[in-house]
Amino acid sequence: MEIQIFGTKKNPATRKAQRFFAERRIRVHFVDLAQRAASPGELRRFVQKVGTDALIDRDSKRFAELGLMHASYGADRWLEILAEEPLLLRLPLVRNGSQLTVGEATSTWRDWAGR
Mean pLDDT of the chain: 90
What CATH number is given to the structural domain containing 27? 3.40.30.10
pLDDT, one tens digit per residue, over 39-52 is 888 888 888 899 88
- Domain assignment of residue 72, given as a range: 2-113
pLDDT at 1: 76
How many structural domains is the chain composed of?
1
Query: Which residues contact residue 86 at a Cβ distance below 8 angstroms, ignoring those fewer than 6 apart?
Result: 6, 8, 33, 34, 37, 38
Residue 24: pLDDT band (50, 70, 90) is very high
Longest CA–CA separation in the chain, Å: 43
pLDDT of 90 strictly over 90: yes
